[in-house]
Amino acid sequence: MPNDRTENMSPDEKFSAIANLKEKLEDNFVALGDLLSEIKRSKLYRFKGYESFKDFVEAEYQLSGSLAGKLAATFDLYIEEMDIDETSVKEIGLERLQLIKPMVQKAGWDERELWMQKALETPTNELRSEIKELKKKDKEDNQDLKKVFIDQYLEKMTTWFNCSKSELNFKLALYFQESDLDDVKKVVKERQRAFEQEIQANKD
């Protein structure tokens, strides 16, 4: 939904504003994210003859589609969804907001506030290192749980077939030989997603 800052602007005014704001990205990332979010959401880029938001920003403003998407998403998360005032968001800065974004997105409201405070008070390099360690730990925890799952599965299957792991692989190859691999892939993706969601839910 358009907000007070953009709803009264004409399409041409919005396009011109982006060109001006992008010259000082760090100072203007909130206002720029606001405009880009509105243009992306309303598909206003079609007004200029473009089929995609990415093509529009790259051709008109020499902004990568990835960066433009990050600016819009930053505005959507911190200003629109979390309703944080612009001054606080700008004080933290775009780089640190991007660093904490994955953690904020999956956190509850209380934890979100803690992350915002941490981002405000922690130097960028220190914050980056801390988040890197957290991600590494999460990955290791997930790998440990996957290993447990694999070990349990192998024990169950080798016991059932009364065979070695090598022989089990042969039997599985026979089983999958005539299978529809697209169907298998779909089932695996669904079950992997459910497995990972369960892991995350248990952590929360």
Q: Tens of pLDDT along 130-144?
A: 999 988 887 776 667
**Higher-confidence residue: 19 or 129?**
129
Looking at residues 189-204, what average pLDDT do you find?
77
Residue 53 burial by Cβ neighbours in a 10 Å radius (0-12, 13-18, 19+): buried
pLDDT digits (tens, 9 = 90+) for 8-50: 677 777 888 887 787 788 889 999 999 999 999 999 999 999 9
**Which residues are CB-contacts of 128 (< 8 A; sequence separation ≥ 6)?**
99
Q: CA–CA distance from 148 to each of 135, 140, 145, 152, 202 (Å)?
A: 20, 12, 5, 6, 16
Only one residue has tokens 């248990």, namely 202
Contact of 115 with 103, CB cutoff 8 Å: yes
User: What pLDDT does 204 receive?
Assistant: 59
- Nearest alpha-carbon partner for 60 in 9, 13, 19, 109: 19
Cβ count within 10 A of residue 173: 9
Q: Give the phi and the psi of residue 87 in degrees, each rounded to 5.
A: -60, -45
pLDDT digits (tens, 9 = 90+) for 84-113: 999 999 999 999 999 999 989 888 888 899
Looking at residues 176-184, what average pLDDT do you find?
86
Distance CA 17, CA 31 (A): 9
Counting residues of the chain whose pLDDT is more than 90, the rounded percentage is: 52
Looking at residues 152-160, what average pLDDT do you find?
92
Looking at residues 61-88, what average pLDDT do you find?
93
User: What pLDDT does 1 receive?
Assistant: 43
User: What pLDDT does 6 receive?
Assistant: 64
User: What pLDDT does 137 receive?
Assistant: 81
Looking at residues 122-135, what average pLDDT do you find?
92
User: For the residues of 121-185, what is the DSSP string, one character each?
Assistant: HS-HHHHHHHHHHHHHHHHHHHHHHHHHHHHHHHHHHHHHHT--HHHHHHHHHHHHTTS-HHHHH
Half-sphere exposure of 119 (CA within 13 A, CB side): 25
* Average pLDDT for the chain: 87
